[in-house]
Structures are given as C-alpha cells and as structure tokens.
Structure 1
Amino acid sequence: MAKEQTGLTEEVRAVVELTEEMKAAIQERILKQIASELQIAAGRVKTTVGLLDEGNTIPFIARYRKEMTGELDENQLRDIEERLAYLRNLEDRKREVIRLIDEQGKLTAELRTAIEQSVKLQEVEDLYRPYRQKRKTRASVAKEKGLEPLALWIQTQPKQGDLLAEAGKYISEEKGVQTAEEAVQGAMDIIAEQIADDAKIRAWVRRHTFEQGILRTEAKDAEQESVYEMYYSYQEPVRKLPPHRILAINRGEREEVLKVALDVPVERIHEYIAKQVIKGPSIVHDTLTAVIEDAYKRLIASSIEREVRNEMTEKAEEKAIEVFAENLRNLLLQPPVKGNVVLGVDPAYRTGCKLAVVDDTGKMLEIAVTYPTPPNNKVAEAKATFKRLIDAYRVELIVIGNGTASRETEQFVAELIGEIKARKLQYLIVNEAGASVYSASKLAQTEFPDLDVAERSAISIARRLQDPLAELVKIEPKAIGVGQYQHDVTQKRLEESLKFVVESAVNHVGVDVNTASPSLLSYVSGVNSTLAKNIVKYRDDNGKFTSRAQLQKVPRLGAKAFEQCVGFLRIAEGSNPLDNTPIHPESYDVVDKLFRELKLELSQLGSAELKAMLQSLEPGELAPKLGVGVPTLRDILDSLQRPGRDPREELPAPIFRTDVLQIEDLKPGMELQGTVRNVIDFGAFVDIGIKNDGLVHISQLSNSYVKHPMDVVSVGDVVTVWVLNVDLKKGRVGLTMKKPS
C-alpha cells in the first residue's frame, strides 16, 4: 500500500501541474460532455469554445460566425458558455480534491478514478466528504479514545464471540472509556459517520428523497392573516412542486410565517443502507441495525434534506430567472413610437403630477407641475397647464406612469381629451417600474443636473414610449419588474442572466452611434462602460461619426473591440450606405462583388428595383461565386433589402386610449383589447385599461393544453380577452382568451 501511495503522489503532482497533453485530454472530455448534454454536434461545440476562448462575444458569434458554428443561436451559444465554465471549474475542483486527499496519504487508484470520472460537483464533494477536515464530532472523539479498532472488529461481522467482552478490552481510565457499553457506543459512532460519508449511500438517499419525499407546510400562527394562507396546511410531492410554489414557500418560511418539513419513508432507506452494510447473520447484526438507523436520523437525513431543498430552490430560481429574462427581452423589444411630441406624466397625490414635454427625438422641451388629484384637486388650474403645453408644442400623445395616483390622473386626462376637439389626442399608461431608480442615478443627474428626481422621472416615462430600449437600458434590469419572485433568487445569477438579455436585445436592434447614450453603447458587443464613454466623448469633441472606420480612432478601442462592435453600430447619414446596415465591414467586399455581378450601384440601396432583384436571388447558387457562406449571404441580402430597418417596427403598436374604463363597467362575457404586462408560471396579467391588470389563468389561455404561459403570450402582446369574473371588493378581474361559444 505504501508503494502504491508513493507512486500515486508522483502521478498526482503531474495531474495538478497539468501537462499540455493532459490539458488537451481534459478539454476533449469537456467538449464531449457538453455535446452529449446539449445534443449539439461535437465539432460545433469545439468551434464555439475556440471562438469564446479567443475573446469573441456571443452576439458577434451568433451573427457573424454562423458558418463556423452551424448557425447556433444565442441561447445555444450561452448554454455552451455556461456549461464550459461549470465543467472547467469542476476540473479545477477535482484536481484540488485529489491533492488534498493525497496529502493525507489516503488516495487510492480507485478513488482517484472515481473523482476524475465525476460529472457533477456534488459527486466530487460526496467522494471528498470522508476526508474533509471536520469539527469535533462524536466519531472523532471516539477515535481519540482509541476505539477505531473496535469499530473495525464490529465491521468484520463475526459470527461467534461476545461484543461486550471484546469491548471490555478498550476500557481505559486514561482515555476516558469507563465501561464496555461506552466503548461499543463510541465504535457505533465511528461506523455511523462512515456510513453517513459514503458517497454511494448519499447519492441513493438523495435521489430517493427527491423521488419519494413529501414537502409539508403549516402556519406558525394559524390565526394570522397573510398571503401564504393556502400553505397553512399543505403538502405536495417534492418531484411535482412547481417553481413558483417552491419560491413562495421559501419566502413564507424566511418571513417566519410558515414551518416547512420534508418527509420521506425511512423504512426503504434503512433497507437500502442495510444491504450495503450488513453481510448476513452475525453477533453484531442488531448493533449494526441500530447504527444504520442512527446514521440516517442523526447524520444523513437533515443534510440530505438541505441538499434536496437547495437543489429544488436552484431549479426554481433558474425557472424564475428564465421567465424574468424572457419578459424583459419582450419588454425591451417593444416597438418604438416615433415622430410624436409626447407629454410624460409622473402622477402623485400631495406633491402633484410632474409633467415633461419631449420632442420627437426625446429632447426635453419643458417641465411643469400640476395638482389635479387629491388632496389638492386643482383641476381647472391643471387643465389650463395641460392645454397650454399641448397647444404650444403640438402634443399628440400623453403618457402616464402606472404608479401612485395613476388612475385618478388617467380619469383627469380622459376628461381633458374630451374637451379638446381641435386636435387628435390619445393617452397611454406605461409601466414606470425603475423610473425612480433611474431618476436618482448618477446618469440622470448628469443628463439633467438642474431637475429634481420626479421631473427626471416624467422625462423617462415619456421617452419609454418613443424608444423603450434606449430608455430602459439606463435602469438596472432587475428594477424593471417584469418577473416573479425576482428578490428571492440568487442576485448574482439574476444579474448575469438579465445583462445577457439586455445585450442580446441591444445588439439585435443595433445602435445609432451618433445618438446613443453611454448606457446604451455599453451593452453593444465588445464595448464596456469605459469604451462607451470614450465613444461619446470622441463624438462630442469631433462631431458626428461619418463612417464606421472612424471608430478605430476612439481611444482604447482596439482591433478586437472594433471587430466585435462595429457590425452592431449604425451611422444613418454617413459616407457609406452600408454603415447603416447590420452588414459587417469584413463583408463589404462581398457586397461589392454582388453589385458588380448584378451590374448595380450602391446608390440604389433602398430602392424598390433593388429589393425586387435581391428577393429573386438564390443564396445557395450565388454564395460560391462570391466566396462567402450561405448563412452570411442570406443575412447580407436581407440587410440590403431593408437598410436602416428597426426589427421592432414589425411588432404591433401599443393600444392608445381616449377614455377611461372603470372596474364597475365590466360584466362577464365583455370583450376587450388589452396589452400583456407580465407573464408568470400560472398565467398572464393583461392591462385592459382599469386600475389593476386582469389575470388570464394558464387554464384560460387556450382551448388546448398549455405547458407554460410563455408558449402562448409574451410581454407587450396585444390580445383579445373576455371578462370571466369581477371581484369589486378585492379589485380583481378574471379574464379568458377562450372565445365564448
């Protein structure tokens, strides 16, 4: 054994140091595992990992390296990136665990192989558990008393002899063992800890607990009213608990409203462990049976319950983050309402409604304050101010934030519109979540140093209609409020996911480099906050960019950053029309060859003649002639047909209103148009023009089975709904998307 361990130490040193051969073998193992898990061809995974390791961003790879990846989309690329990071960290942990066990002189070839072949961090930690330095335990105390040999003797499971007689040999005043019974108990503690640390046993118990466990909840105080009342006496199988319920129960427990327990049938667990430990009849059979029961109850059950609940929470968090991310993406990609002078209103009671008029480019024209709501009720004065602003700036749209006093303000605006006959005027309620966060930020202070927080908020509300993406990127994504339980999930993971969504949305739309704020630019592929500020400073110092090539003059914007960002930046009135398209400059020569092939001029870009000709082309036949891949040529042709296109404009416009609807006006069966404001696991909230959004439960989304509401609706969708029920007392409205027969 000593020789084997010495040899292993040398091998371990080699593993820890990692030769190039070993690095290559580990990389190959990781690539194969990712390909297997994600069901993506190994060659595509390898190429993608290579591109990521070279410093390419996901938006860049998804858009401009389609031939190399086989047209993997952003979500597939991100899955690869996340699994790559996890598995590389796993390999680092494996090497660390191998080193730590080897330093104790306890590493065997079998153990090392088991660690190396582990595919989950939990498996590695289970294998390391017996060798981890522990605090003082009953087993460690027993070992200090010299009772390990007695534990080994019991584990031989002798068929003859006397346990107490054998234990009597270990009675020692010096070591603190007073009786044979005490010696037996110490030995039992040692064996119990060994059982509890066994990786195979822990894995089975964990799986059995997840498959057979029942989560039970009860109220700490059954008389207390709370939002958790449905959980005051509740139970459900662990494997069936939906994500939103797990997070709700966790929150109730955290707020000390609920008591939560995980029950699991113990007899089957005892039987399984007994099969692993007890070899047959022996004089210590009953002793080992007692050890097994003690090991599970005292050492395994509570830790496995924690692990299972942690795993449940992790999966629930992933789902909640996924829902939040999808809702955020749809909100960011809401169609901009361009070409209108807008009056933004930040409603309030005591402090009054702050007003901001912005022109069609979002430039602030005037700020005012009125008091049409209680307790001031200066309605006539407020109408005079509104009318003056509307006439002076030819306002066409009024945008009201949905916060405090929004419905009273809406009632006032609806009355006002009814009085103004000379001009077509409409209003819209927008989600103002995060407006106060933006208004108090350093960015808002820089933009509007002379305005107070509420006045900045009114400008933000107006701009949200004109260009939702450009305005919302100024706000911390998780403050936008289109998810469920966003405060209950791991904030670091949430922030990473939402940042990815914002980057994806920004790069999908593209950014006008001559008008974009530093906030918007910082989400462009390859551009960080420092580069974003440098781009704006260069623009301020030197005037508008006239070509993409000029970006290379921006301080600290090197060749790699230029390659990553330039295709996503637009120059509307530059020297080269291609600079206002998603076509990357690396493909400009392809466009040049294409136009020569078609005998056309670049000046014809955007013409109906060119569009018709491009639509008739077959990318598969043309690509070899131009020396370009089919996916890239397909994108080039699409971009040439619609230069300067904003993909958001293809989505339905928001619903504008001229009159207000009260909950009292609603009757079951009434048909309404509404806008989806939030999608959650159990349904969707739809703005139908009343104070509170109505709920379309998942069961009412379609006549067909719906696995998740997102399969049917998205944030921003304009939908037709019918009123199911109205609860005037609670201010709740139930809606359906199933057309009544």
Structure 2
Amino acid sequence: MANVETEGLKVKASAGAAEGQAAENIANPKASEYEEPKEKIQVSAEKKAEIQERILKQISAELQLPAGKVKTTMELLDEGNTIPFIARYRKEMTGELDENQLRDIEERLQYLRNLEDRKIEVVRLIDEQGKLTDELRSSIERAVKLQEIEDLYRPYRQKRKTRASVAKERGLEPLAAWIWKQPRQGSLEEEASRYINADKQVGSAAEAIQGAMDILAENIADDAKIRAWVRRYTQDNGIIRTEAKDAKAESVYEMYYSYQEPVKRLPPHRILAINRGEREEILKVGLDVQPDKIHDFMVRQIVRGDSVVRDVLRTIVEDAYKRLLAPSVEREVRGEMTEAGEEQAIKIFAENLRNLLLQAPIKGHVVLGVDPAYRTGCKLAVIDDTGKMLEIAVTYPTPPNNKVAEAKAKFKQLISTYSVELIVIGNGTASRETEQFVAELIGEIKERKLKYLIVSEAGASVYSASKLAQTEFPELDVAERSAISIARRLQDPLAELVKIEPKAIGVGQYQHDVSQKRLDENLKAVVESAVNHVGVDLNTASPSLLSYVSGVNATLAKNIVKYREENGKFSSRQELSKVPRLGAKSFEQCVGFMRIAGGRNPLDNTPIHPESYDVVDRLFKELRIELAQLGSQQLLALLQTLEPEELAPKLGVGVPTMRDILDSLQRPGRDPRDEVPAPIFRTDVLQLEDLVPGMELTGTVRNVIDFGAFVDIGIKNDGLVHISQLKNGFVKHPMDVVSVGDIVQVWVLNVDQKKGRVGLTMKKPQ
C-alpha cells in the first residue's frame, strides 16, 4: 500500500489528526492546518510553461470549452482586462464566451494556480527534510485538488505534541518498524523489553508496545490512500444525526430535534440550518458511519498473511480509525458539506441580487418616500424625478401617538405642493399600519391619481449611517436619510442599491452563515456585472456607481466626480482621459460603459466602444447618411435591413462586433431595464383576514430560495410558494421557474392566522 510500507516509518515525522481537535467546530471548512508559503518560489520559464499548459488542459476539460478559447481568455485576463470588458468588446477573440463562462475560467484559473503554487511549496518542504522520493513527487504533481496535496503532505507536516511524537522522543520508532515488518517468528514482548529505559521514561514492555502502537496508528491515519478511501466511504454512507440539547425549548430548529438524513442527500439549505443550530448551541450534531467495512478495508491494506503481531495490528487499525481518522474525516466531510451549502447559498444570493438590481426604474415621477416607525414617527422625504431631495418631514400616524388627522394634513400638503404621484413605504417596523393610513389617505384625495408601493428597506439603515450618506446629506439624521433611500429605490434601484453593502440587501438564504470573503467576492462580481450591463451616465453617476464600472476603482470614481465638479459636465468620452490617475488601460476598460447624453458625439450615448467609432464612420459613409440622423426612424428602418455577416468583412471587423454595433445604433440611449415589468402599485390595503383558500392574487416575487419563493401579495408577510407548488410537474430548483421581481399569478392554499403565514400556489386550480 502507498506510504505505509517499511520506509514509511522513517519518513513520517508527524501525526494525522492532531489530538484535541475534536472539540473544534467540525462544520467549519476553513479550519486549516496548511502551512502557507512564506515567500513566492522562483520557477524556471520552462516549468512555468509546463504548468500553464497543464492548467489550460484541465480548465478546458472541466468546463468543456475549446482550448483555444480558454487560452485566449487566460491571456486577456493576464493582460489586466476585466470580465465585463472581455465579454462585451473581445468577442471575436474568445469565440463569444459569455460572462458566466469567463468568470468560470477566471475562478478555475485562480484556484489551479494556487494549487500549483502549493505543489511547489510542498515539494520544497518535504525535500528539505530529505524525504522526497520520485514517486511522492509524481503523486503531488498529479494531484488535481488541494485536499489530495494536503493528504500527501500530512505525514511530513510539523504539528503539536501527540502520543506518537512522545513515543518517538522515547526512542520507540525501531520497535514500531519491527512490528510493521510483521515477522512470522519472535516475541513482541521480548522485543519490547529491549526498549525499557528509565531515562526515556519507558518503564515496561507494555509501555514500549503502547508507544510503538501509537506511532503506527498515527502513520496509518496519515496515509493518503487510506484517508481518501475512508473520506469517500463516509460521504457515500454516512448519516447526519441531530438532536436538541434541550428538547423542551422552543426554537426554529424544532424539526431537527430528532432528525437524521444521509450525508449525500442532505440539501444545502438544511446543511446550513443544522450548522447554525449547532453554532447557537441548540442542536447536537453527529456524523455516524458503520465502522466494520472501514476496518476491513484498512486491515486488507495493512495486514499481510500470518504473523506474530497480526492481532496487535488489528488493534492498531481500530485505534487509528476511532481515535484519529474518524474525527478528522468527520471534520473534513462536514467541512465539504458546508462548502457545498455555502456555494449554493452564495449562488442563490447572487442570482437574486442581480435580478433585484436590474429591476425596472420608475422614471419621470415625483416620489414621497416613507420610513415608517411607531414611537419616533414616520420620516418623509419628497424627491423630484432626478432623485433630488425637495423636503423632509416627520408625522405620527401610528401608535402610540396616533396623530392621524395631523399626519393626513402634512401628507396632503406635500402631495399638493410638489405634485407627488407615487408614495413608497419601507417594509420595516409599522409598515402595515402606515400602509393602512396611506390607503385611507389615497381614498380621500380625489383630485389626483395617487398610488403606493411597499419596498424592501433592507440595508437602508446601513446606508443611512454610512460615511457616504453623511457626505450626501450632512444636515439630516439617519432616519431622514433612510426615507430618501427608500424613495430612490423606486426611481433607480441599481443606482441606489450600489451604495449598500450587497450582503445587507437581504435577498438570499443564510448569507450571514457563509464565508464572508467568498460572499463578498461573488456579490461584488454581480454588482459589477449589473452596472456594466446597464451602463452609467457619466454626468450624474455617484462615486458608488462609478466604482463598479469596468476598470474603475474607488479612487478613480472619486477623481471622476471631482473632475466633473471642477470642470462641469463631460462633453465627450475622450475627456475621461484627462481625469487624474485614469491611465490608458483604465480608459480602455471603462469608456465603453460610460454614457453621455447630449454630448458632442452621439455615439457617446451608446455601448459602442470608441475603438469602433471608425467602423461606424465607414458604415455611415457607405450608407450615405449623417451621424446626426442617429435615433431617427429613417435610420432605424435602414439599419434593420442590414446583415452583419455581409457588412463585417467589408468594414474589417468581426461579425459579433458588427452585430453589437448595429444593435446599439438602432437603440441609442437604451436602458435594458426598461424591458423588465414595472412593479405592482396599489391603492388599497389587503388584510390577512381577507384571504381565503382559492383566492386569486397578483404578486411580486421578493426572494427565491432552495425550497420555494416568497411572494409579496400586499399583506404584512410575504406568502410562500413551495417548490412543489410552482408549476405542474417536476421542478429541479425554484430559480428554473421564477426570479426576483417577477410578477406572478398566485392562489391562496392555506392561511395560518396565528403565525401570520400564507401558503400560495402558482398551479391554477381546476
């Protein structure tokens, strides 16, 4: 077997799972003992090329993408190009890989390069111990996962004091080697008696034997082949069991008070729920697996024929598994389960966030934003159709003040003064009482068509207390800023929500239980993708919005705004190059995503990159039309007759770029969000008591999770459409059917008045 032959005793200077670690949170996949490289190891050019080729082949095989496309993408990334830029403006080079494929390549490239760095470091560390063999080097270089490398390195890693390390200090390694040879003759007790040594604290043959057994148990637990097999077996056959620490205590984890499920069938959201219950010390969690087959496998790997130490070796195997290997593998398996759960939670959050950010903006309306509360009153903010704050006020229509008449007078005065058309209410504390008040108010105002909408105020308090909010509105208090944020979320969700830390927006599941670094990385990529998909108005965008544009960081975003404030509006994209510290590379990456309405060049209000302006010039000359005609019906009709496949060779450009140019010329100044359905506005309130099974309602999907979707139907709490009720037939995941922001028809299934819960279905009743 690998690494547990006779030579193994000489090279294994460290233990398997260090004792005492069982008390660690075994659901934590980040609890790592890996030694990090202290400095970057220098690698020859030939070795770098070999590694690059190996990574290229692996990514191509894993993602099932042509090697040429992967290679080009790797080169573009290494040159400092961003994903949005490559996806939009380098389609010919990548063979039109989409943004998701590009991000997959980027992620795998980073992982595999880190993997290769770790291989080099591990080879160096083992070589410095004088224990590196050709076979071991080859095994390390063939590894395709970090876990494989760490399994191979485990026997050589320095670690804290263990029973085996103490036995080695007492000089018992030769006795362990004697046992490992599995002699057919001789006496173990007689052999062990030679190691009795008062100076080394070995007082008897039994003590010597126990020490040798500890050394061998640790070596067996460290063996890469055995660990890999036991890990796989545990993943395939393990059972997660949970029970309550206090069965009488009420909690949201009651379904897990006496629960079990096979490891391989446990869905991601239940993994994270169980982990949270364990972390909050409400649940006790264990991973059970029948040890008999594991023992049999390990014995077959180790025990050879009949020997005088056969029974001793069997005892060592049992000890190696029970004391060292089982706790360690349980941590690893639970860690891998947690990582899978986290990946799913992050994926769901990212998809929901993207759909939320790309909700249709409601333009051209004066809006009254309401941040509801009880004791401190409802904060009001009137903003014009550009998002400018016009007036701030506070009223007290809710308990305990109940100054309804006074509040109505103030609302009516603001509505009349500023010609308010929409009222937006935050969904926090006192929101439904405020909604009732607003619905009554709308009924009293006959001279104008007023509507209201309840929006999620998740993250509004985070923004209101931020330095950005303090800079924007230094004279206002936190609650007043929150009312402005609530109102602006209706006018331009993307521009307002980018001011808030993405994970505070609240459209996921268990986002606070996952790796925050990994979550932040993914959500930042989502926001970046959404911002660049829409594009930004260079003359109105905030620093927060600009900082997500391809090639622009926070410093450059502030410099752009400062330049705008000092020099007036940008009149052309080219003027961006004058912004301090915005170099040629940043200009190339960002300029195509900037928009200038009414500038010197009409193309500056399109997604066409300035590097393609000469293509447009040649196209217009061939068509014998002027650039000033951009946006006219005459030009639109003409452009719709053109074939990009025919034009591209004539104009010396690729077909994908030609296609994008023609599409952009047909819709200058287009906002892709305009194609998304507008939210549902209301004029009257719906109570939980009004609902009866079978009632048909129109609602808005607010959140999509693993087991269903939450839909706002106009009552205090969103109703749940369970995955089984999304449509007739099998549904693999709710996201295959609905997305955040979708307007859906639902029917009431059941109503729980006591808990305030409503079950909904999207399957039309017969």
**Residue from 664, 673, 677 that aligns with 2:698:** 673
Aligned to 1:521: 546
**Residue from 345, 348, 352 that aligns with 1:323:** 348
Is 1:174 equivalent to 2:196 in the alignment? no
**Residue from 303, 306, 311 that aligns with 2:336:** 311
**For the residues of structure 2 that align with 1:576 and 1:172, how far apart are their CA atoms?**
92
**For the residues of structure 2 that align with 1:120 and 1:709, how far apart are their CA atoms?**
31
Shift of 1:734: 0.3
Is 1:563 equivalent to 2:581 in the alignment? no
**For the residues of structure 1 that align with 2:696 and 2:159, how far apart are their CA atoms?**
66
**For the residues of structure 1 that align with 2:538 and 2:358, how far apart are their CA atoms?**
19
Aligned to 1:401: 426
Structure 1: stretches of 5+ with no match in the other structure: 6-14
Shift of 1:160: 2.0
**For the residues of structure 2 that align with 1:339 and 1:107, how far apart are their CA atoms?**
71
Residues 19-70 of structure 1: CA deviation (Å, up to 9, x unaligned): 1111111111111111111111111111111101101000000000011111
In structure 2, give the amino acid aligned to 1:211: D
Aligned to 2:685: 660
**Residue from 492, 497, 511 that aligns with 1:486:** 511
Aligned to 1:504: 529
Aligned to 2:176: 151
Is 1:297 equivalent to 2:322 in the alignment? yes
Structure 2: stretches of 5+ with no match in the other structure: 1-6, 11-39
Contact map agreement 1:352 1:373 (CA 8 A) in 2: yes
Contact map agreement 1:151 1:188 (CA 8 A) in 2: yes
Residues 507/16 of structure 1: CA separation in 2 closer, same or farther (3 Å cut): closer
User: Is the partner of 1:582 in helix, strand or coil?
Assistant: coil
User: Where does 1:599-610 land on structure 2 (aligned, <5 Å)?
Assistant: 599-610=624-635
**Residue from 572, 576, 579 that aligns with 1:554:** 579
**For the residues of structure 2 that align with 1:143 and 1:254, how far apart are their CA atoms?**
37
User: Is the partner of 2:751 in helix, strand or coil?
Assistant: strand
Shift of 1:253: 0.2
Aligned to 2:462: 437
Is 1:94 equivalent to 2:119 in the alignment? yes
**Residue from 62, 66, 73 that aligns with 2:87:** 62
**For the residues of structure 2 that align with 1:175 and 1:392, how far apart are their CA atoms?**
93
User: Where does 1:71-470 land on structure 2 (aligned, <5 Å)?
Assistant: 71-470=96-495
In structure 1, give the amino acid aligned to 2:375: R
Shift of 1:380: 0.6
Aligned to 1:9: none
Aligned to 1:10: none
**For the residues of structure 2 that align with 1:349 and 1:162, how far apart are their CA atoms?**
84
In structure 2, give the amino acid aligned to 1:685: F
Is 1:703 equivalent to 2:721 in the alignment? no
In structure 1, give the amino acid aligned to 2:187: D
**For the residues of structure 1 that align with 2:275 and 2:113, how far apart are their CA atoms?**
31
User: Is the partner of 2:748 in helix, strand or coil?
Assistant: strand
**For the residues of structure 2 that align with 1:187 and 1:733, how far apart are their CA atoms?**
65
Residues 140-163 of structure 1: CA deviation (Å, up to 9, x unaligned): 222222221111111111222222
Aligned to 1:8: none
**For the residues of structure 1 that align with 2:595 and 2:41, how far apart are their CA atoms?**
48
- The TM-score with structure 1 as length reference comes to 0.97
**For the residues of structure 1 that align with 2:417 and 2:573, how far apart are their CA atoms?**
39
Q: CA RMSD in A?
A: 1.3
**For the residues of structure 2 that align with 1:392 and 1:173, how far apart are their CA atoms?**
97
In structure 1, give the amino acid aligned to 2:45: E
Bigger relative contact order, structure 1 or 2 (CA pairs below 8 A, ≥6 apart)? 2
Residues 106-147 of structure 1: CA deviation (Å, up to 9, x unaligned): 111111111111111111111111111121211122222222
**For the residues of structure 2 that align with 1:93 and 1:326, how far apart are their CA atoms?**
32
Residues 399/192 of structure 1: CA separation in 2 closer, same or farther (3 Å cut): same
User: Where does 1:29-40 land on structure 2 (aligned, <5 Å)?
Assistant: 29-40=54-65
**Residue from 605, 615, 627 that aligns with 1:580:** 605
**Residue from 569, 584, 604 that aligns with 1:544:** 569
In structure 1, give the amino acid aligned to 2:333: V
**For the residues of structure 2 that align with 1:400 and 1:193, how far apart are their CA atoms?**
63
**For the residues of structure 1 that align with 2:567 and 2:213, how far apart are their CA atoms?**
81
**For the residues of structure 2 that align with 1:296 and 1:371, how far apart are their CA atoms?**
67
Aligned to 2:24: none
In structure 2, give the amino acid aligned to 1:208: Y
Report percent identity of matched pairs: 81
Shift of 1:609: 2.0
**For the residues of structure 2 that align with 1:261 and 1:239, how far apart are their CA atoms?**
15
In structure 1, give the amino acid aligned to 2:552: V
**For the residues of structure 1 that align with 2:297 and 2:512, how far apart are their CA atoms?**
40
**For the residues of structure 2 that align with 1:665 and 1:17, how far apart are their CA atoms?**
72
Shift of 1:16: 5.0
Contact map agreement 1:344 1:399 (CA 8 A) in 2: yes
> What count of residue pairs does the alignment treat as equivalent?
730
Contact map agreement 1:16 1:99 (CA 8 A) in 2: no
Q: Which moved more, 1:391-400 or 1:602-611?
A: 602-611
**For the residues of structure 2 that align with 1:516 and 1:590, how far apart are their CA atoms?**
28
In structure 2, give the amino acid aligned to 1:94: K
In structure 1, give the amino acid aligned to 2:54: R
Residues 678-711 of structure 1: CA deviation (Å, up to 9, x unaligned): 1111000000000100000000001021111111
**For the residues of structure 2 that align with 1:171 and 1:502, how far apart are their CA atoms?**
68
**For the residues of structure 2 that align with 1:322 and 1:434, how far apart are their CA atoms?**
20
Contact map agreement 1:341 1:357 (CA 8 A) in 2: yes
**For the residues of structure 2 that align with 1:496 and 1:170, how far apart are their CA atoms?**
57
Contact map agreement 1:411 1:660 (CA 8 A) in 2: yes
User: Is the partner of 1:17 in helix, strand or coil?
Assistant: coil
- The TM-score with structure 2 as length reference comes to 0.94
Aligned to 1:641: 666
Aligned to 1:532: 557
